[in-house]
Amino acid sequence: MLGALAALALLGSSPGPVIVNWDAELADDIKRGGYDVAVTQALTGATNHVVRNIGLTLPRAIVATVHAPRSYERNFGAAAAQRWWAHYQGGQVHINGGIAIDGEFSGMLVHEMTHAVLDAAGKAGNFDTWLNEGLAEVFEHEAMGVGEVDDVQRLFLKDARRNGEIGLLTSVRAPLDASRYLQSFAAVTLLMQRHGRAKVIGFYRAIATGSSADQAWRGLGTDPVAFAKVFDAWVAEYRG
Question: Measured between alpha carbons, how far is 137 from 107 in angstroms, rounded to an integer?
Answer: 9
Q: Is residue 1 part of a domain?
A: no
The DSSP call for residue 16 is -
Q: Same structural domain for residues 231 and 160?
A: yes
Q: Which of residues 66, 84, 118 is at a domain's end?
A: 118
Domain with 217 in it: 124-236
Using the predicted structure, report yes or no on whether residue 6 has a pLDDT greater than 70: no
Question: Measured between alpha carbons, how far is 178 from 223 in angstroms, rounded to an integer?
Answer: 25
Q: Which of residues 85, 118, 151 is at a domain's end?
A: 118
Q: Same structural domain for residues 97 and 191?
A: no
pLDDT at 217: 97
Question: Measured between alpha carbons, how far is 135 from 228 in angstroms, rounded to an integer?
Answer: 16
Q: Same structural domain for residues 28 and 113?
A: yes
Question: pLDDT band at residue 55, thresholds of 50, 70 and 90?
Answer: very high
Strand 86-89 and strand 92-96: pairing?
Answer: antiparallel
Q: Same structural domain for residues 140 and 232?
A: yes
pLDDT at 80: 86
Instruction: Report pTM.
Output: 0.89
Mean pLDDT of 133-137: 97
pLDDT at 3: 33
Around 231, how many Cα atoms within 13 Å sit in the side-chain half-sphere?
30
Axis-axis angle for helices 213-220, 197-208 (nearest 10): 170
Mean pLDDT of 105-117: 93
Strand 18-22 and strand 62-67: pairing?
Answer: parallel
Question: pLDDT band at residue 33, thresholds of 50, 70 and 90?
Answer: low
Q: Is residue 87 part of a domain?
A: yes
Mean pLDDT of 120-132: 93
